[in-house]
Structure 1
Amino acid sequence: MTAPASAAGPTEGSDRLPPVRFAFDRHTWKEIAHLLLNLPVSVFGFVYAYTVVFTGGLLSLTVIGLPVLAVSLLGARQLGKLERKRTRALLGVHVEEPTPLPISRGGGPMQRLWLALKDPVGWRTLLYDFIRLPWGVLTFCTVLTSLFVLWPVLPFLARGLANVDRAMVRGLLSPSDELERRIAELESDRGVVVDTAAADLRRIERDLHDGAQARLVALAMGLGLAKEKLLEGQADDAVAEMVAEAHGEVKLALQELRDLARGIHPAVLTDRGLDAALSSVASRCTVPVKVTADLPARPAPAIEGIAYFTVSELLQNISKHSGARSASVDVWRAEDRLLIQVRDDGRGGARLEAGSGMRGLADRLGAVDGLFVVDSPAGGPTVVTAELPWRDRKE
């Protein structure tokens, strides 16, 4: 009696167990490859992390210690980026990239150094590299042994080990939470605000020293000479000329003080609002400017001031550099944002380069959660769009 096919030895089409054959799909082989690569990757990461901590701690007593540690943490960020790419390619884990460290948005060298040293992403990556070495040895040895000894259960074993890897990547290499990101941005923005305020104070000091102060000194000297001549009884044409010159110096000094006060905070902005203030600054532009302001109410003074000085500097750039024949300024509110758009038909080519006036404006707006976008192709036209958060004015 012939034995049934199911009881016989393996035959064509039934020599492989379906569950095992199905388990060895391309996803399983990717997981196996990932687990085998864990050893060399974890060895490199552990050596890097140990070197960073040991060298940084050793050099922390010297001047170069903290900068070396800061650079090493930036390097750890790059290692984390490579590990996320490897996990994404082999394990299918889609972990978002952390927000770039805002060390290029302004602030002095010490501010940027402090931000790098406090970077939670860099420190979590070092922790990840520390704990990965024993895990990398375990997964490499387990999978390598299973390839020859535990072949039927290898797919399930690989899946379990890979799930642990997925959890580690999500837990330690995922982006910082929103609070950490906002703290880093606010610390950077605080540095920008401090630097901007210091630059404004230096400008005011320079304008006072070179302008009104110098004129008032000359005025005092002229009046002193006129007084001496009058005391000597020399009330002649020379004294009258000195007094006339002093009168002229007084008028110039007053004008410079008015200009300086307007640069700090124009009275028209305080008294009549953004529409009138922008019309005033537009009237001083060498290019005809059309101003349109559609605001249902006045924003908070701080936002109003930033909007005014942004438009003022953009119009100065148009006067000096654009070669435009006309320009326009549009200001309006859209939900909880104050939008500003400045256009000119000049030669274009404006760029947000480091150290430029445009870069400075972008940094100032970024410090208050604003946006600054420049569209200026060669040949023009130039369109600059700025956004500020709308804050209601408290009467």
Structure 2
Amino acid sequence: MATDYGQGYGLPAEPGHPGHAGGRRRRLPAALRAPVEGRAWRELGYVLLSLPISILLFTYAVTMVSLGAGLLVTFLGVPVLAAALAGCRGFGAVERARARGLLDLEVAEPEPLRTRRQGFTAWIGGVLRSGASWRALLYAVLQLPWAVLSFVVGVTVWSVGWSLLTYPLWFWVFPMYAGQDGIQLYGDEHHRIYLDNPFEVAVTAGVGLLFTLATPWIVRALTMVDRVMVHGLLGPSRLATRVVELESDRGVVVDTAAADLRRIERDLHDGAQARLVALAMDLGLAKEKLREDPQTAARMVDEAHGEVKTALQELRDLARGIHPAVLTDRGLDAALSSVASRCAVPVRVEVDLAERPASAIEGIAYFTVSELLQNISKHSRARSASVEVWRTENRLMLQVVDDGVGGAEASEGSGLAGLAERLDAVDGVLVVDSPAGGPTRVTAELPWRTEPTR
């Protein structure tokens, strides 16, 4: 996936941000703050709610699936089973909302039902074929035993910690109402030990403090399993996510191709085509004057000859913009050296490739460097630049560096953003590091592919 790192990349945090030097600093370390922070209480609330919700969900899922399986011998079994799966999907939506509110876990909705036709029968088929439905059912089954474990552990460590920590405040209850000196630590027929003197009360509170400080981290470790379950079973599958990415990338490719075609049409219409039309008119006038004024006709033909040369040069430039012949014939090293020679600043080019990548990847790499060098010529006010190309395992790496004024951003609507979208279409990555004052370092990463053997 292409990533836009230009916006705010390398800049100091804003005032008031926790990472900013001038912001409000927390005086207590995280280990001491955790028991009283809102996050710890939200996670504990999630653990407490998980038990009743999991009981309800497990009961519904097992009852409905068992009923549907038992009725499969009749025509009612399949609709009941579909209703069971649909209900599990509905519970999944509730669980995603609960995880979002209490665990700050953002989980996208799973892939929607895909039905070829309209109607109840098509809906049943879509529910039964959906992998998200069966993952929701699996979540309903697996959540109950884990919810019981996390509830018992969470409630136990929380109650023990806070009760022992506050023991100095309520130990007087034992001699006044229970008829004993304090919490009984040990007892038999001959001897009993109570936590009743000031030292023992203080030690008990200290142990409670340790439990209280450890409770948020224990509960957080328990909710990590819940995070994994919600994300893995109630979110979209990797395949569905990949399909969405590919659909988005296909749209980018189509839009880019359409934009390139419009650019080529505009260049032909406004450039070479207009020049050739004017050339045809000039040659027509020269033909008419050939008998009356041969010298004027010769001069007009000579001017038309110059126009032909200009039109040919424009067509060569246009062809180079579509796909340069030097790239096809000699590869990236020669093609990038040719582009660098036309840059407004001196450019050092270093290409370290033992073999050539696929022509599509090679073309994207060429146009990426070409556009970055154009940006340097137009905007950077640099004195020098460098281009480096190398291969790292299965990735083709490009890096363009200049010593200009910096401040380049891959914000929406900019040329760098469009370049990032093009790289994204082939699973590439664009990283922009351009602090104010420079230097600017743009790194592009492309998948390494080779031409298939025939």
The structure 2 residue matched to 1:332, chosen from 385, 390, 403, is: 390
Distance in 2 between the 1:99 and 1:371 partners?
26
Q: Deviations over 1:129-163 (max 9, x none)?
A: xxx9xxxxxxxxxxxxxxxxxxxxxxxxxxxxxx9
Q: Deviations over 1:262-311 (max 9, x none)?
A: 00000000000000000000000011000000000010100000000000
8 Å Cα contact 1:311-1:342 kept in structure 2? yes
Distance in 2 between the 1:282 and 1:347 partners?
20
8 Å Cα contact 1:328-1:342 kept in structure 2? yes
AA at the equivalent of 2:321: G
CA gap of 1:80–1:271, structure 2 versus 1, over 3 A, is farther
What TM-score, normalized to structure 1?
Answer: 0.62
Partner of 1:83: 98
The structure 2 residue matched to 1:209, chosen from 269, 279, 288, is: 269
The structure 2 residue matched to 1:259, chosen from 317, 331, 349, is: 317
TM-fit CA distance, 1:235: 3.3
AA at the equivalent of 1:275: D
Distance in 1 between the 2:95 and 2:46 partners?
20
Q: How does 1:114-193 map to 2 (within 5 A)?
A: 170=230, 174-193=234-253
AA at the equivalent of 1:215: R
TM-fit CA distance, 1:168: 12
In structure 1, the gaps of 5 or more residues are 1-25, 39-76, 90-94, 102-122, 133-162
AA at the equivalent of 2:380: S
Partner of 2:151: none
The structure 1 residue matched to 2:428, chosen from 370, 381, 385, is: 370
The reply to whether residue 228 of structure 1 matches residue 288 of structure 2 is yes
AA at the equivalent of 2:411: E
CA gap of 1:286–1:79, structure 2 versus 1, over 3 A, is farther
TM-fit CA distance, 1:79: 7.6
Partner of 1:48: none
8 Å Cα contact 1:96-1:175 kept in structure 2? no
CA gap of 1:100–1:349, structure 2 versus 1, over 3 A, is farther
Partner of 1:47: none
Partner SS, residue 328 of structure 1: strand
Partner SS, residue 386 of structure 2: strand
Partner of 1:359: 417
The structure 2 residue matched to 1:245, chosen from 287, 300, 303, is: 303
Aligned residues between the structures: 281
8 Å Cα contact 1:324-1:347 kept in structure 2? yes
Farther-moved stretch of structure 1 (312-321 vs 350-359) = 350-359
Partner of 1:73: none
AA at the equivalent of 2:289: K
Partner of 2:437: 379
AA at the equivalent of 2:267: D
CA gap of 1:171–1:342, structure 2 versus 1, over 3 A, is closer
AA at the equivalent of 1:364: R
AA at the equivalent of 1:277: A
Partner SS, residue 365 of structure 1: helix
Distance in 1 between the 2:228 and 2:379 partners?
54
Q: Which one has more relative contact order, counting CA pairs under 8 Å at least 6 apart?
A: 2
The structure 1 residue matched to 2:406, chosen from 338, 348, 354, is: 348
CA gap of 1:227–1:358, structure 2 versus 1, over 3 A, is same
TM-fit CA distance, 1:175: 2.7
Distance in 2 between the 1:329 and 1:301 partners?
20
Partner of 2:328: 270
Distance in 2 between the 1:168 and 1:334 partners?
32
AA at the equivalent of 1:281: V
CA gap of 1:201–1:79, structure 2 versus 1, over 3 A, is farther
TM-fit CA distance, 1:365: 0.6
The reply to whether residue 200 of structure 1 matches residue 260 of structure 2 is yes
The structure 1 residue matched to 2:278, chosen from 200, 210, 218, is: 218
Distance in 2 between the 1:203 and 1:99 partners?
39
CA gap of 1:186–1:222, structure 2 versus 1, over 3 A, is same
8 Å Cα contact 1:282-1:315 kept in structure 2? yes
CA gap of 1:99–1:221, structure 2 versus 1, over 3 A, is farther
Distance in 1 between the 2:433 and 2:242 partners?
28
Partner of 2:154: none
8 Å Cα contact 2:431-2:443 kept in structure 1? yes
CA gap of 1:79–1:265, structure 2 versus 1, over 3 A, is farther
AA at the equivalent of 1:83: R
Q: How does 1:297-308 map to 2 (within 5 A)?
A: 297-308=355-366
Q: Deviations over 1:16-39 (max 9, x none)?
A: xxxxxxxxxx9987644566899x
TM-fit CA distance, 1:177: 1.5
8 Å Cα contact 1:344-1:381 kept in structure 2? yes
Distance in 1 between the 2:442 and 2:95 partners?
37
8 Å Cα contact 2:376-2:402 kept in structure 1? yes
CA gap of 1:394–1:27, structure 2 versus 1, over 3 A, is closer
In structure 2, the gaps of 5 or more residues are 1-41, 55-91, 112-130, 141-222
